[in-house]
Amino acid sequence: MAELIILKLGGSVITKKGEGKAEVNKEVLERLAAEISEARKEKEFPLMIVHGAGPFGHVPAKEYGLHEGLKDERQIEGFSITHHSMEKLNFLVVEALRKAGLNAMEFQPSSIGILRNEELVHFPTEALEGILNIGLIPVAYGDVLVDEKKGISILSGDHLVPYLAKKLNASRVIIVTDVAGIFDSNPKENKDAKLIPEINSGNIDSLNIGSSTSTDVTGGMQRKVRELMRLEIESEIISALEPGLVKKALLGERNLGTVIT
Amino acid sequence: MAELIILKLGGSVITKKGEGKAEVNKEVLERLAAEISEARKEKEFPLMIVHGAGPFGHVPAKEYGLHEGLKDERQIEGFSITHHSMEKLNFLVVEALRKAGLNAMEFQPSSIGILRNEELVHFPTEALEGILNIGLIPVAYGDVLVDEKKGISILSGDHLVPYLAKKLNASRVIIVTDVAGIFDSNPKENKDAKLIPEINSGNIDSLNIGSSTSTDVTGGMQRKVRELMRLEIESEIISALEPGLVKKALLGERNLGTVIT
């Protein structure tokens, strides 16, 4: 789908992740919704949003060991609880987008998707393409899914984004996090940490992303970056915390964080 | 799927339909949730629930003329609003089922389904079958969908139920409404109205269902009954308002309302 942008809003951005409670970060969410709305007023483009889970998903998923696959009956309850909690978060995100004037629409991954050993292997997108074609903004999320091998498993937003970007032939992927991009060491611990403006096949091996000094707070930054790179679709990791960046990125500005090519 | 029961909860049953406000009928919903929970404790069987819309869906769908297909941009807003409202109702229904101890799970039709002139033509069920197989209770609903011919259209719960019953090879369909079954005239207007205990291919033509004297409050009872009959799956229309009927029906009792064979 020409011109399609997939915008990932990190769980740490839209929720009060640090506090462990399942609460949205209303202030940031409303500002981001306003920026997206302003961008869409200036320019027409198909847009899909995928958001992370924060404590809405991570807390119950951990409590019931959903990452470990289906081992006992109690986890079915955990599946129900975790999905229900993600539905709530998704509803609140769509609510904020709607209030900003966007024709957003909840989009449930678990009603469609099947994993096999945590890899998405089935995700029919005919309805999704129809939804995008009429100008709605589908809003998907990290969710708990049926897994052909493990019984149940977690689909993270970071896994769903490159899968959909490829399948829908997106023009750009914009990943919004709580840091300014990827640094050469952890900027939360090291004042001298330097932002890496571009990661490509030439420098990725020397950068040691994913080491203990990386900036990633959810784990798996190495995998995340490599998955994006394999896509051969331009991606950029930018900060949610600097006002205006999301709007600029949606309107086509580059080099606002770390570009992955 | 052997033993699968599809339980349809009418919009007029779970919402305060008559009042026009988008509010659930908490009392009835909680009692039905308790009955379903009691039945599942006595007997294991795969169960799928589909609920109607009541004012949550009908009011915004009517306001934006969603039945007429996509004619102007404003209807995209109507699509977003109507789906958002149905998400809320679905969340509240699952919430009530969860509180009764059931491992229920929201199940969004519009992320999967495509209509063509209001007929469901695409609805992949691989993930749904996986969800049923691990013992979760998916809870779907009437929703607004992409329509290949009309742009957008409404999928009623009453259209989704026979489609899924056939595709998933259900053993029974139980339709829970606000009347005791199908009558020979409108029981709300006529004190002498008689319940028709069974409708089959032998008597359907003589019954004049769907006439102005029928009991149907949402329209289309004739189509509804014929669709169920074509299924060749045993169906029964029962009342939500008589306590205990839903539990009995789920546990295998027959002849509680109007049986369709």
The CA distance from B241 to B179, in Å, is 8
| Best of B80, B125, B143, B155 to mutate (most A CBs within 10 Å, chain A) | B80
Q: Is B94 on the interface with A (CB under 8 A)?
A: yes
Mean pLDDT in chain A? 92
Q: A235 vs chain B: nearest CA distance in angstroms?
A: 25
> What does the alpha-carbon distance between residue B187 and residue B190 come to, in Å, rounded to a whole number?
5
pLDDT of the residue at B204: 85
Cα–Cα distance for residue pair A257/A239, rounded to 1 Å: 7
Report residue B220's pLDDT band, with 50, 70 and 90 as the boundaries: low
pLDDT digits (tens, 9 = 90+) for A25-59: 999 999 999 999 999 999 999 999 999 999 999 99
Q: Are B233 and B166 in contact (CB under 8 A)?
A: yes
Q: Do A108 and B113 touch (CB under 8 A)?
A: no
Looking at the structure of chain B, the number of domains it has is 1
pLDDT of residue A190: 84
Contact B239, B177 (CB under 8 A): yes
User: From the CA of A66, how many Å to the nearest CA of chain B?
Assistant: 13
Q: What DSSP string describes B21-40?
A: S--B-HHHHHHHHHHHHHHH
Q: What pLDDT is recorded for position A209? A: 67
Question: Is pLDDT at B190 greater than 70 in this prediction?
Answer: yes
Band of residue B209 on the pLDDT scale cut at 50, 70, 90: low
pLDDT over 80 at A214, yes or no: no
pLDDT value for B208: 65
CB contact under 8 A, A127 and B110: yes
Element (H, E) at A146: strand A143-147
What is residue A145's predicted lDDT score, i.e. its pLDDT?
98
Q: Per-residue confidence at B184, pLDDT binned at 50, 70, 90?
A: confident
Domain that holds residue B239: 5-260
A130: nearest CA in chain B?
A: B146
- pLDDT beyond 80 at B20: no
| Cα–Cα nearest to A122, from A76, A177, A163 | A163
Q: Residue B211 pLDDT more than 60?
A: no
Nearest beta carbon to residue B79 from set A108, A114, A136: A136
A chain contacts of residue B95, beta-carbon cutoff 8 Å = 84
Closest CA to B130 of B158, B148, B152, B105: B105
Residue A107, chain B, CB below 8 Å: the answer is yes
Alpha helix positions (H), chain A:
11-14, 26-42, 55-63, 74-99, 126-133, 157-167, 204-207, 221-231, 245-250
For B201, the token pair is 């291919």
Given CB atoms, is A87 within the 8 Å cutoff of chain B? Answer: yes
% of chain B residues with pLDDT over 70 = 93
Q: Is the pLDDT of residue B229 over 90?
A: no
B198 sits in which H/E element: strand B198-199
In the prediction, which pLDDT does A172 show?
96
How close A77 comes to chain B (CA, Å)? 6
Give chain B positions within 8 Å (CB) of A128.
111
Q: What are A61-84's pLDDT values in tens digits?
A: 999 999 999 999 999 999 999 999
The answer to which of A246-250, B152-156, B218-222, B248-252 has the lowest mean pLDDT is: B218-222
Strand B172-177 versus strand B234-239 pairing type:
parallel
pLDDT value, residue B230:
86
pLDDT of residue B11: 94
CB A23 within 8 A of CB A107: no
Kindly list the residues from chain A whose CB atom is less than 8 angstroms away from the CB atom of residue B103.
76-77, 79-80
Three-state SS at A15:
strand
Q: Partners of A143 in the beta sheet?
A: A155
- Give the count of beta carbons closer than 10 Å to the beta carbon of residue B150: 18
Enumerate the residues of chain B whose CB falls inside 8 A of the CB of residue A108.
106-108, 111
- Looking at residue A21, its pLDDT comes to 81
**pLDDT tens digits for range A112-168:** 999 999 999 999 999 999 999 999 999 999 999 999 999 999 999 999 999 999 999
Q: Say if residues A169 and A1 touch (Cβ distance below 8 Å).
A: yes
A116 — contact with chain B (CB < 8 Å)? no
The complex's ipTM works out to 0.94
Per-residue pLDDT tens for B91-140?
999 999 999 999 999 999 999 999 999 999 999 999 999 999 999 999 99
Per-residue confidence (pLDDT) for residue A167, from 0 to 100: 96
Share of chain B above pLDDT 90, in %: 78
Instruction: Please determine, for residue A218, whether its predicted confidence score (pLDDT) is greater than 90.
Output: no
* Dist CA A261 CA A226 (whole Å): 10
Q: Is B184 on the interface with A (CB under 8 A)?
A: no
- Answer whether A138 touches B (CB < 8 Å): yes
Among chain A residues, the shortest Cα distance to B102 is held by A77
CB contact A126 to B (< 8 Å): yes
Nearest-CA distance from A165 to chain B in Å?
17
Model confidence band, residue B235 (pLDDT cutoffs 50, 70, 90): very high
Contact A80/B152, CB-based, under 8 Å?
A: no
Q: How far apart, in whole angstroms, are the C-alpha atoms of residue B39 and residue B32? A: 11
Give A-chain residues touching B98 at CB under 8 angstroms. Answer: 80-81, 84
> How many whole angstroms separate alpha carbon A38 and alpha carbon A247?
7
The pLDDT of residue A220 is above 70: no
CATH classification at residue A147: 3.40.1160.10
Cβ–Cβ contacts within 10 Å for residue A165, how many? 26
> Would the pTM count as exceeding 0.90?
yes
- Rounded Cα–Cα distance for residues A134 and A154 (Å): 30
B70 touches chain A (CB under 8 A): yes
CA pseudo-torsion sign A214, A220, A223, A226: negative
